[in-house]
Amino acid sequence: MEHKLRIGESVRIKGVLFIDHSVIYAGMPSDNTYSLVITLTAGYQRMAYNLFLPTNHREVWHKKGHITVLSLSPGEIHLRIDR
């Protein structure tokens, strides 16, 4: 499934009962780096980690899905999530 996210927007990767995984676009801190935040919510608890990736790195493997970056700009990312 394809999604376009602006800075701060999120999309759900996978959710089962009270456990939810999502990805948030955190922008481009430099010309050669972009940032994705992966979150895990379980009940009332949440964990997140920030991935800083080079702009030529277009494949991200996550234990709940595969993320392919189709296009990238400082304000928006277009990605495909395969579950």
What is the rounded CA–CA span in Å between residue 39 and residue 51? 11
pLDDT tier at 18, thresholds 50, 70, 90: confident
pLDDT at residue 20 tops 90: no
Q: Which residue has the higher pLDDT, 38 or 62?
A: 38
Query: Rounded to 10 degrees, what is the CA torsion of 55, 70, 82, 15?
Result: 70
Q: How many domains does the chain have?
A: 1
- Structural domain for 53, as ranges: 2-82
Burial of residue 67 (number of CB atoms within 10 Å: 0-12, 13-18, 19+): buried
For 6-23, b where at least 16 C-beta lie within 10 A, e where not — what string?
eeeeebebeeeeeebbbb
pTM metric for this prediction? 0.86
If you average pLDDT over residues 26-54, what whole number do you get?
Answer: 93
